[in-house]
Every structure is written in structure tokens, then in C-alpha cells.
Amino acid sequence: MLTMKSEIASIADVTCSVIKALDIFYVLKGAKEAARVFASPGMQELVKSNGLFYETSDFKVMLRNDASRCFSDSGVRNMEKGESVLYIARSGEKALEAKEAEDRNDNNKLGEILGYPECCRSFFSENIEKSKSSDLTVQSWKNSSSFYAGINTSMRCFDACLISHFPCSFGCEDSRLIADRNKKVIGASDATLLNSIEAALKGIVIYSEGIGVYKIRKYVAGNGIIEYTPEDIEPSCINDFYSLLKKGRIVILGRNRFLIGGVEVNDAHTFMAEFL
């Protein structure tokens, strides 16, 4: 028996990424006014066939791949080589407005057009110049005292995320409202996909810049100790850090200090958080 693909799955066939597909889908369903995505073959035709509008950047971006995450969220502008940026919107005027905002390097205006909360736009502007890449996940963690799974951006390398921006913290209420809205939009089209994304975003995440991202799906936690089986680890890459994690025991020493396999981790670019 044949089953029909969801709209999201059909878009993902072109974008080769669920996250990209969702960003376009949110615009298609009117959940947000515009999206900014890197172009892939066939995307312009996809956008037009769905009654949306787009503008193409005058520049291209040569993406830098982070081997520890098999993911790229930074790059260098180049006029000839690299990926073009598409500004997709429900009107031609809004698509052009987004393009022109980036041409002016007006991050705040671009973020406003893309539907990002004001607090998160300010957070981005304050941190992006100091960051070595466009990845502000660790900075989001530093501002956090609670960790809502719906706005967990650390699993983007596993193609799982419900928001399109870096939250000012993982407890940001405005970002939470966006994630909850997006859940409803996804669930109305593909409940199975929504369940998969929500499962991916929940649990313990160890995020280490340049080392990798490690999700622990099932675990027992108590008295500052976390225990799990090696089979419950989902790693972005296999390395010595993963080998330590496979020993199945983490001892929490402080907010950013813990023992993994008897080795102390205390690094400003590494965090562990339980997303609920």
C-alpha cells in the first residue's frame, strides 16, 4: 500500500535537510514571514511552485565544515564560489527587505524580518563579533538556568531543531512560544516527524566546541551521578572523548565541571545540560 509523503518530507527531498525544510514550511504555512536558507539545486523551483517569493544574495558563502559535528554554520563570503543565500517570503517585498537588511549588515533588522525575538536579536549582535564562528550554542548555555528541550539548538548537527535562531538562553520565554507554535505547525502535517524531533531534543547533551556533540538518550541520575549504557550515547563523531563517555558514568562536580571516565572536564567551551 502506498503512503503519501508529508509536505515537509517533500520539501526535505529538495533541501536535503529537515531543518531547512521546516524553515521554508513555516513560511508556507504563515507561521513566519520570511526565512533565510542556503540554496540547493531545485530550491528556487520549489519555492515558486508553492506560491512563495525569493531573492538571491549578491554574494556566496564558502562554508567551513566542523568535522567534530559534521556540520557547517560558518563560512567566508566570496563573490564567485560557494553557496548562495535565498531570502524566502510570502511576498516579494518582504523577500527583498530581508536581502537588503543583510546587504547593510543590519543583523537586528534581518532578525526582526525572520521573526526572531528582540532579546535574541540583541544576544546575537552582542556575541557574534566575539565568536570564532556563527555557532553561539555555548553562549546560550552560559546565560541559562533552565533548559527547555523545544529551544535546544545543540542538536542541529543531527538535523533536529524547532527554532531558527540562537536563543538568548535555553529558558527564553519568547523563543519557547515560537517553538510551541512550530510544534503545532509540524504536528498538523507530520506527527511522526514531530515525535522524532522532540525525542532528539530531550535528554542530556554534552556539547564541546571542536570535540563533538554527545546525546545521552536514557540514563539514571541522582546524587550528582549520571549512569547509562554505551548504547544510549548518540555521538556526532567517534574519538577519545566518546571512548571516555562509553564507560557509562558521569560525576557532576559543578556547573561546568564533571568527571567522565575518571577524567575531569573543566573547559569554557564545553557544557553538559539536561534538556526537559
pLDDT 10s digits, 60-119? 988 776 656 655 566 677 767 889 999 999 999 999 999 999 999 999 999 999 999 999
Nearest one of 175, 210, 215 to 197, comparing CA atoms = 215
Distance CA 268, CA 4 (A): 47
Angstrom CA distances, 172 to 13, 179, 240, stand at 32, 11, 34
Beta carbons within 8 Å of 223's beta carbon, 6+ residues apart: none
The count of other CB atoms within 10 Å of the CB of residue 78 is: 12
pLDDT 10s digits, 134-172? 899 999 999 999 999 999 999 999 999 999 999 999 999
**CA 265, chain centre distance (Å):** 25
What does the domain layout of the chain look like in residue ranges? 7-199, 203-275
pLDDT 10s digits, 227-250? 999 999 999 999 999 999 999 999
Question: Beta strands 225-227 and 220-222: pairing type?
Answer: antiparallel
Beta-bridge partners for 84: 60
The model's confidence at residue 2, banded by pLDDT at 50, 70 and 90, is very low
Beta carbons within 8 Å of 38's beta carbon, 6+ residues apart: 20, 61, 63, 83, 84, 85, 86
Distance CA 205, CA 103 (A): 36
Distance CA 63, CA 71 (A): 10
The model's confidence at residue 174, banded by pLDDT at 50, 70 and 90, is very high
Distance CA 143, CA 201 (A): 19
- The per-residue pLDDT for 1 is 38
Which grid cell sits at 7?
Answer: 509536505
- Average pLDDT, whole number, for the chain? 93
Angstrom CA distances, 268 to 111, 141, 235, 248, 263, stand at 27, 11, 20, 23, 16
Rg of the chain over CA atoms, in angstroms? Answer: 19
**CA 178, chain centre distance (Å):** 14
Span between the terminal Cα atoms of the chain, in Å: 37
Distance CA 183, CA 162 (A): 7
Which grid cell sits at 5?
Answer: 509523503
pLDDT 10s digits, 23-49? 999 999 999 999 999 999 999 999 999
